[in-house]
Structure 1
Amino acid sequence: ETVSNLTLMALGSSAPEILLSVIEVCGHNFQAGDLGPSTIVGSAAFNMFIIIALCVYVVPDGETRRIKHLRVFFVTAAWSIFAYTWLYIILSVFSPGVVEVWESLLTFFFFPICVLFAWVADRRLLFYKYVYKRYRAGKQRG
């Protein structure tokens, strides 16, 4: 479930603007035009404001919802912060205003690593199994 949520749903929902950006970049001799970045920023703004607002609005009054997989949530939140930091670094520090091939390839390979970390967190494969049961969250007694 975690891997499918991070891969299929994310890529499926972002496929139109990714394809549009690729077509524009290829049509402008690998120079960014106005359409590609604007489409991506607009899609991100729509997802950030409208989709989250609708998710909050449809929960009935008096009912609360909780995050089911908190470990996976923390992993994806940490990777999101890292992604914005990395984007700033490659666009402002390493090569201002230009995305080099090694930067794009490294950025592309961060995604499978993020999915792997989320899967490991979902399966509790890191340190969690080595912690004694009495110290685990939710297993405390009286």
Structure 2
Amino acid sequence: MSSIEEITAKTTKKMNPTTGDFVRVKVWNATVANLTLMALGSSAPEILLSIIELVGNRMYSGELGPSTIVGSAAFNLLCIIAVCICAIPAGEVRKIKEVPVFVVTTCFSIF
């Protein structure tokens, strides 16, 4: 996690046009950077395993790489749904506010 914090904390100097002073501005949008880097970090083992198998099989896909990626994605999807369901206390009801975002996420998870 400290590597993600190190990357997202990067700043650059920009001149304020009204005052002429130099101010420090963040290079990364924290939300986008965290989501991107976390996704890359959590999927890297499966992707590397698939690449190693592909190179080892002279650029022919074997069974291990695609199965690992699909299995990992299914496991992650089901675990995230389970945690979200279990996190709501008994007797409480929650509603999805951003339905279009939920629909896009669902479509990318299924297909």
Tell me the CA shift for residue 79 of structure 1.
7.6
Tell me the CA shift for residue 60 of structure 1.
1.4
Q: Give the letter aligned to residue 42 of structure 2.
A: S
2:105 matched residue in structure 1: 77
Tell me the CA shift for residue 67 of structure 1.
5.5
Could you list the per-position Cα deviations for residues 73-108 of structure 1 after superposition, in whole angstroms to 9, with x for gaps in the alignment? 269538828x93xxxxxxxxxxxxxxxxxxxxxxxx
Matched residue count = 82
2:72 matched residue in structure 1: 43
Structure whose residues are more often helix by fraction: 1
For structure 1, the residue ranges without an aligned partner over 5 or more in a row are 85-142
53, 60, 65: which one aligns with 2:82? 53
Residues of 1 paired with 2:38 and 2:50: CA distance? 19
Structure whose residues are more often strand by fraction: 2
Could you list the per-position Cα deviations for residues 19-39 of structure 1 after superposition, in whole angstroms to 9, with x for gaps in the alignment? 111111111111101110110
For structure 2, the residue ranges without an aligned partner over 5 or more in a row are 1-29
RMSD (Å), alpha carbons: 3.0
Residues of 1 paired with 2:70 and 2:63: CA distance? 11
